[in-house]
């Protein structure tokens, strides 16, 4: 599966999340060959679980499917820049490649905020980080969701 197709799947998952009253974030984990291991969208409100972010749920599901807590060589595709919690989880799951859509200057931890992967003490860094993939579409989903929420 190409990066673009994986991001389109993540955007579709984000749309599902919004329809359920969740912040529209979707995530896809691909194996080394580009096959989908797991998908998820935010489930914070549904599960009453502040840690139920799309990328964390997708990585958990992929690890179960692989039978290993390490996702070495896998790619995480997510519609929003990971927060500090999810960026830390990416290090522990040993994600090989990170691709994300919208930037999050307020809550992100990759290109904003603590920039976790740039810290000297970081346990593991994805070998490749690609940001801004379908950024306009991902950002628009978030803007529309929060606009409707405030109306």
> Is 81 noted as a catalytic residue in this protein?
no
Look at residue 113 in the predicted model and tell me its pLDDT.
95
Look at residue 151 in the predicted model and tell me its pLDDT.
85
List, in sequence order, every beta strand (DSSP E) within 54-127.
Answer: 75-80, 97-102
Look at residue 91 in the predicted model and tell me its pLDDT.
98
Q: What is the pLDDT of residues 107-150, one digit of tens each?
A: 999 999 999 999 999 999 999 999 999 999 999 999 999 999 88
Look at residue 38 in the predicted model and tell me its pLDDT.
98
CB atoms within 10 A of CB 100: 30
Mean pLDDT of 88-108: 97
Neighbour-count burial for 11-48, b at 16+ CB within 10 Å, e otherwise: bebbbebbeeebbbbbbbbbbeeeebbbbbbbbbeeee
Active-site position among 55, 81, 120, 135: 55
């Amino acid at each position: 599966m190409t990066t673009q197709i994986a991001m389109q799947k993540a955007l579709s998952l984000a749309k599902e999340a919004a329809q359920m009253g969740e912040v529209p974030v979707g995530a896809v984990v691909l194996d080394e060959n580009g096959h989908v291991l797991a998908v998820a969208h935010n489930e914070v409100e549904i599960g009453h679980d502040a840690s139920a972010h799309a990328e964390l749920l997708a990585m958990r599901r992929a690890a179960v499917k692989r039978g290993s807590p390490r996702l070495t060589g896998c790619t995480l595709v997510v519609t929003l820049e990971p927060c500090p919690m999810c960026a830390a989880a990416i290090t522990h799951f040993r994600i090989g490649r990170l691709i994300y859509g919208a930037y999050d200057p307020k809550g992100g931890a990759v290109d904003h905020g603590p920039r976790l992967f740039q810290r000297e003490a970081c346990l593991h860094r994805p070998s490749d980080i690609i940001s801004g993939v379908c950024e306009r579409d991902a950002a628009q989903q978030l803007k529309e969701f929060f606009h409707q929420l405030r109306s």
